[in-house]
């Protein structure tokens, strides 16, 4: 079942997610406590599956604060890929993640600026302008 739910995240398939939740109402809880490097939300955020992301955070908002093995949040990944709709969803659930630093010391605002994701950068600064003032790891 775990493989199937990760496949649903990769595909952004909400119908599959809902069917799996019908089969096992606790599957999101089980996945959350497992030792995988990335959560379902990390995968869906990185791939820009905004509707899937909305469904996940609607059921488990705490997923928006989870970090992967590189200390990246789902917001870091959505920002890096320039997925504006996904970024908007994630910051609406947990705006403090704009301040979270990955293993390189970069917050999502830094990543948006480095990658030239102007629309994402505008959104992040609108939500947490003080994130733009944070110094990067090397100053």
Q: CA angle at residue 84 from 139 to 105, to 5 degrees?
A: 20
Q: CA angle at residue 98 from 7 to 127, to 5 degrees?
A: 110
**Nearest 5°: phi and psi at 37?**
-70, -30
Q: Is 6 a domain residue? A: yes
Q: Is 42 a domain residue? A: yes
Q: Is 122 a domain residue? A: yes
Q: Is 70 a domain residue? A: yes
Range of the domain at 66: 2-133
Q: Is 99 a domain residue? A: yes
Q: Is 139 a domain residue? A: no
Q: Is 16 a domain residue? A: yes
CB 131, CB 123: distance < 8 Å: no
Query: For the chain, how long is the longest CA-to-CA vector?
Result: 50
The average confidence (pLDDT) of the chain is: 91
List helix spans (H) across the chain: 2-11, 14-23, 27-33, 40-46, 50-59, 74-81, 84-93, 108-115, 118-127
CATH of the domain at 129: 1.25.40.20
Q: Is 114 helix (H, G, I), strand (E, B) or coil?
A: helix
Q: What is the pLDDT of residues 119-131, one digit of tens each?
A: 999 999 998 767 6
pLDDT value, residue 60: 94
Indicate whether 11 pLDDT > 60.
Answer: yes
pLDDT-based confidence at residue 38 (cuts at 50, 70, 90): confident
pLDDT-based confidence at residue 31 (cuts at 50, 70, 90): confident
pLDDT value, residue 48: 97
Q: Is 138 a domain residue? A: no
Mean pLDDT of 91-97: 96
- Cα 66 to the center of its chain, rounded Å: 8
pLDDT value, residue 35: 56
Provide the percentage of residues in the chain whose pLDDT is more than 90: 80
Cα separation, 56 vs 44, in Å, equals 9
* Tally of structural domains, the chain: 1
């Amino acid at each position: 079942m775990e493989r199937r739910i990760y496949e649903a995240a990769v595909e952004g398939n909400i119908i599959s997610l809902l069917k799996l939740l019908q089969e096992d109402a606790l599957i999101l809880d089980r996945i959350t406590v497992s030792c995988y490097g990335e959560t379902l939300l990390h995968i869906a955020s990185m791939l820009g599956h905004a509707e899937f992301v909305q469904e996940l955070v609607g059921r488990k908002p705490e997923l928006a604060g989870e970090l992967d093995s590189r200390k990246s949040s789902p917001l870091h990944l959505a920002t890096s890929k320039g997925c504006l709709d996904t970024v908007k969803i994630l910051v609406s659930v947990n705006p403090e993640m704009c301040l979270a630093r990955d293993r390189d010391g970069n917050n999502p605002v830094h990543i948006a600026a480095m990658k030239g994701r102007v629309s994402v950068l505008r959104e992040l600064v609108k939500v947490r302008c003080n994130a733009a003032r944070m110094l990067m790891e090397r100053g």
